[in-house]
Amino acid sequence: MVTVAAVEKKKLDNPPLDIHYLGDRVLRQPAKRIAKVDDKIRTTIREMLQTMYSADGIGLAAPQVGINKQLIVIDIALDQPDKPPLV
């Protein structure tokens, strides 16, 4: 599990990433393995969480936001701010 700075579980008017939907060619690209978790990956995780919360989602994979990496964020406890998401 990756530790990231807390992200508030709220909708943003302008989420940081655009979500790609079924049929988009970007979703057909193979995702690459993450060898090392660094600050860039942590920033990506925060942006993915903010985007997911803004879309009222409970899960989001990196390819869905145009990032070809094997990365997913999941939060099924949206009403419990003290429970961290899974990364």
Give 7-42 pLDDT, tens digit per residue.
Answer: 999 999 999 999 999 999 999 999 999 999 999 999
The residue ranges of every structural domain in the chain are 1-87
Dist. CA 51–CA 15, nearest whole Å: 5
Beta partners for residue 32, in sequence order: 69
Q: pLDDT band at residue 6, thresholds of 50, 70 and 90?
A: confident
Distance in Å from the first CA to the final CA of the chain? 6
The CATH number corresponding to 1-87 among 3.40.309.10, 3.90.950.10, 3.90.45.10, 3.40.50.720 equals: 3.90.45.10
